[in-house]
Amino acid sequence: MKFKVVVTDYEYDTLQPEREVIERAGGELVAYQCKTEEEVIEACRDADGILTQYSQITASVIEEMERCKVIARYGIGYDSVDVRAATEKGISVCNVTDYCLDEVADHTLALLLSSARKVAEQNQQVKNGNWNFNWAKPISRLQGKVLGLIGFGNIARTVAEKAKVFGLEIVTFDPFLTDEDAIRAGVTSVEWEELFQQADFLSVHVPLNEQTRGLVGGAEFSFMKPSATLINTARGPIVDEEALVEALKNNAIAGAALDVLETEPISADHPMLEMDQVLLTPHIAWYSEESEKELKTKAAQNVADVLQGKQATYVVNQV
């Protein structure tokens, strides 16, 4: 009997990479576009494995699963899956930790450079008929500026290596980073408050969980330089968005460059849409043609491996 793998939701043009992996392992792939918890429950009830992009795999969903052995998320983060409930039911939770390191690092630096050189604003000014560099003043030299990294995992390390090419000095706060490791990586480990005080550009690189939700808020913005820019390519809710808007309105910081928001997509009346000092992209930092195919293939392979009695390459929990 073939095992059944359900895709709860997806934004991709094709599921062919997943289908090839699952069918080669002896299973069948069934795709849905679930919008509600009830739809997710119904789709997943008799599934042996789950592939999910944005659907919330809550404790209620997991409770109704009759034979599921593995839930694999498309992506690095897995905050949409109730890992505790899955573990209690003996279900493996998987992610893909290494598929887009270069893409997210490149996008982080693209946001940094665009903000520093006011690229988006200059483009709009020229298209509006204003061929005059003076309106963009002041713009400062990047050489010697400080890039602060919240967290120093795989993506942050990749950002640090690429950022050094521009002459940026790198400081980071990560409670798991040893002094020896920081020296080897060519970065300076600092305390939490010092990170915000020193950074000209502050970039978020931690996962979203109960400890990091709202991690960057009003107190942190009060520590920052008025000339500093916040960059977030991690998860929106790590930053207290209301506090960020207030900091921008009050000129407590100079700007923000965000690929992620607390609620996505952004609402039509969001105040940041009217702020020239805010640069926004639609949660695309992870994407390239190559990274998308790699993600889809590896996520499906996680499911296939578990359902074939093998150890998956990327496992969040132990069951």
**Among candidates 70, 108, 120, 99, which has minimal Cα distance to 205?**
108
235 catalytically annotated: yes
270 catalytically annotated: no
| Of 73, 235, 241, 292, catalytic | 235
| Of 283, 289, 290, 294, catalytic | 283
Question: What crossing angle do the helices spanning 101-117 and 154-163 adopt, rounded to 10°?
Answer: 50
103 catalytically annotated: no
Residues serving a catalytic function are 235, 264, 283
